[in-house]
Amino acid sequence: MNLSAEVEIEIPFFDVDPMAVAWHGHYVKYFEVARCAMLRKIDYDYPKMHESGYLFPVVELYVKYVNAARYGQIVVAAAEVLEYENRLKIGYRIRDKATSQRLTKGWSVQVAIDVKTRELQFVSPKILLEKMRGR
């Protein structure tokens, strides 16, 4: 499996609170940036999912805040597939680029639903399995 990606993000002014630290909700956005970069590696980002007849909503999310990200800091957000046969479970790490200090970690779970019927798929669609196994 071992599908992963890393992206660099500079913490922008509009993401920080009055203490100049990134507001806690923005870390999920940084996870998403890394997740999209990772999915593009197998040519199965959200538009491709929709074209293939499936949507993948997030149904679970866990975030562990270890250290604060600050305005102007360059961080590296990483995403890695942990499971894909019955659901898409992705692990995340955010670290400081300069020091490699861990800032945040977490995971998300996404499940496939049929675009037309909105029915939950109890196993991952064939297209996802093929993309993951064909890397």
Q: Per residue in 18-39, pLDDT tens? A: 999 999 999 999 999 999 999 9
CA distance 129 to 112: 12
Other CB atoms within 10 A of residue 92 CB:
25
The mean pLDDT value of the chain amounts to 96
Contact 11, 75 (CB under 8 A): yes
Percent of the chain beyond pLDDT 90?
96
Helix (H, G, I), strand (E, B) or coil at 18: coil
**Model's pTM, two decimal places?**
0.93
